[in-house]
Amino acid sequence: MNDSVRHRAAGAALAALVLGGGAVGCTKGAPEESPALTPAAAVAKAAKKTEGITSLRYRMTGKVPEQGKVGGEVAMSMKPLAMSMKMTSGDQAADGPVEIRLVGKAMYIGGGAEAAKDMGGKHWIKFDMSAMGADKELNADQLGAGTADRNPAAESAFLTGSKDVKKIGAETVGGVRTTHYKGTVALDDFRKSLKGENGTTREAREKSLDQYAKMGVDSLTMDMWIDGADHTKQFRMRGTADKGPLDMTVTFLDYNKPVTVQAPPAKDTADLAEMMKGLKEN
């Protein structure tokens, strides 16, 4: 694969890895917090509401290690698993957005005219997840597929592990009135707190923690904006990884609505498995 195509794909995938993130909701209305509801309890209530999410759509912007600035929009369905992500990263913004589609067991990465020049005029490259072992440089986890099958609400629950979560005040986000909360989280402490969770919830959250551990992140400063229906409308995480700063904001547009993702036209797609097969034969 051409280095330019690989670099752009890696940037998009890294954002997918980090941006799996957050509880979601877009219910309009004023936040009506009970006087007895502490900041920690409000955050826990919002985290609990994420467990039934089956699909979502969100917008993201910020910085990730090595790649710098990123931005884009994602639509994802957990059951059945499908994802469509369009984003720009680093200095590739001038070449147009990279699009990633996850359909069944295949991931497709599409670029613009520059990418097509390196792939015989085709704009998409297909990664068959069942055959990823053929390429030692790329695998499902590196491309973001390893994170696509988990409920992205897992990261938002991290704030429940904060020992200093506090209420900042009422703020409007995307036309929705919300209450802003903020706290810091030591990820090791949060991992220890998961012992009381049920198996499915614990597994999803531990999987998210593992991804941050691989990046060298050991603590996060987190912000959540919770609407009047106890859903998180916006989510921000900041931390320091081995290879640079992490600062991402995710704004949720809707959830539990149908998400349909189609594979690109076969005639406009280069199949990595076939390409690798051809190289071995030569």
b (16+ CB within 10 A) / e for 37-51? bebbebbbbbbebbe
Q: Which fold has domain 3-273?
A: outer membrane lipoprotein receptor (LolB), chain A (2.50.20)
pLDDT at 148: 42
pLDDT surpasses 60 at 261: yes
Compute the average pLDDT of residues 236-251.
91
pLDDT surpasses 80 at 199: no
Sort 179 into a burial class: Cβ within 10 Å, 0-12 / 13-18 / 19+. Answer: buried
pLDDT digits (tens, 9 = 90+) for 82-112: 889 988 876 555 567 788 998 888 889 887 7
pLDDT at 36: 55
Query: Can you tell me the distance from the alpha carbon of 6 to that of 56, in angstroms, rounded to the nearest whole number?
Result: 27
Query: Can you tell me the distance from the alpha carbon of 157 to that of 48, in angstroms, rounded to the nearest whole number?
Result: 8
pLDDT at 166: 96
pLDDT surpasses 70 at 183: yes
Compute the average pLDDT of residues 233-244.
91
Query: Can you tell me the distance from the alpha carbon of 62 to that of 247, in angstroms, rounded to the nearest whole number?
Result: 5
Query: Can you tell me the distance from the alpha carbon of 209 to that of 211, in angstroms, rounded to the nearest whole number?
Result: 5
pLDDT digits (tens, 9 = 90+) for 207-218: 778 888 888 999
Pick from 153, 164, 201: nearest CA to 186: 164
pLDDT confidence band for 193 (50 / 70 / 90) = confident
Could you tell me the CA-to-CA distances from 45 to 9, 41, 159, 171, 207 in Å, in that order?
A: 36, 6, 11, 19, 21
Per-residue DSSP letters for 255-268?
Answer: ESS-----PPPGGG
pLDDT confidence band for 53 (50 / 70 / 90) = confident
pLDDT at 7: 52
pLDDT at 181: 97
For residue 237 the two structure tokens come to 């995480």
- The angle at the Cα of 114, spanning 4 to 119, to the nearest 5 degrees, equals 80
pLDDT confidence band for 173 (50 / 70 / 90) = very high
pLDDT at 47: 86
Query: Can you tell me the distance from the alpha carbon of 97 to that of 17, in angstroms, rounded to the nearest whole number?
Result: 17
What is the reported pTM? 0.77
Domain locations along the chain: 3-273
pLDDT confidence band for 279 (50 / 70 / 90) = low
pLDDT confidence band for 139 (50 / 70 / 90) = very low
Q: Of 55 and 133, which is predicted with more confidence? A: 55
pLDDT at 282: 53
Query: Can you tell me the distance from the alpha carbon of 32 to that of 44, in angstroms, rounded to the nearest whole number?
Result: 16
Average pLDDT, the chain: 77
